[in-house]
Amino acid sequence: MTPKRIAIIFALVLCLGAAARCAAQTYTMIMPTPKGLSMGSMDALLKDMGKAIERKTGIKVTVVNLEFDYLDTPVEDTLAKMKAGKVDLAMVFGIDYVRYAANNKINAVPLFAISMFGRSSYDVCLFTRKADNIKSAKDLKGKVWGGVKTKNARYIMHLDGIDKPMSGFFSKLVYMPEENVVTLLDALLDKKIDVFTVPNYQVNMTRNTNKKYNQVADISCREYEHNWFIVYNKDTVSKENAAKIKEAFMAAHKDPQFAQFKFLLTAVKGRFVGMEIKDLANTVKIVKYLQKYKWDQEELAFIKKNFKR
């Protein structure tokens, strides 16, 4: 066997190694999106994103849309696949990432995040009618709450000095999907519910497009989890390639190659920003509350009772 053929075989063997990646390899990037989220053709949007990454960096990335509902665990499932070497990059949510990392040795390293309205974290608020003159969660005893994620409300209630189950504080809990916040806003103004609790950026985006929602008040807003962020598999993605991908996204807000993000970034007055583990400090605090008071279990019981696949 000639030295040239030996060199070729050696190179192929390296490519087959678990920790090695050949230059021609295509990275797999998972983007979890809620079922029912209205953003046009999500598959087409993510496909275009993969093309933009390749044009800017020369790195091939296949972006996969992972749709999930209220009973799914998309971040846990994705991080498990990343640990197994089947996923290279992924979008994750702060609470789910911290909770998974607390119980598993992971290889998912934060790369960059999205900043919305000038912040890398968001608040959860009690949204009420301004005309009702509600000042805190205590003023909502016996009122009607609407939504899905009860743990958001429980967190605010706790900080306002209320530690009762939702059903023992509100007169009624109305199950209402939260993907389209307009549904909740209209139900509030039509007096079908008295309060709902969602991330403030959802309402802020909608207020910018319809002034009638200025009749809605934000009460007892509290800092919650870190905005969603991108992680990379340190076992399959080199630091050099990770840095190239990060650099491309850092300039995405002014780069025509990433024009598909213009609507999203404009709506939330946002851009992509760098991040580190230390930036998850408040998210870690939230996770400790969830574990201590079992708010997740209360929410899951509410969802299972009302949500039908």
pLDDT in tens, 35-89: 876 554 566 777 788 999 999 999 999 999 999 999 999 999 999 999 999 999 9
| Residue 107, Cβ density class (10 Å: 0-12 exposed, 13-18 middle, ≥19 buried) | middle
Please state, rounded to an integer, the average pLDDT across all residues of the chain. 89
Query: Is it the case that residue 184 has pLDDT exceeding 50?
Result: yes
Position 254 confidence tier, pLDDT thresholds 50, 70, 90: confident
Instruction: Dump the DSSP string for 239-279.
Output: HHHHHHHHHHHHTGGG-GGGGGGHHHHHHTT-EEEE--GGG
**Which of 7-11, 20-24, 103-107 has the largest mean confidence?**
103-107
Rounded to whole angstroms, the Cα distance separating 154 from 164 reads 8
Q: What is the reported pLDDT for 45?
A: 72
Q: What are phi and psi of 211, to 5 degrees?
A: -70, -15
CB 282 within 8 A of CB 226: yes
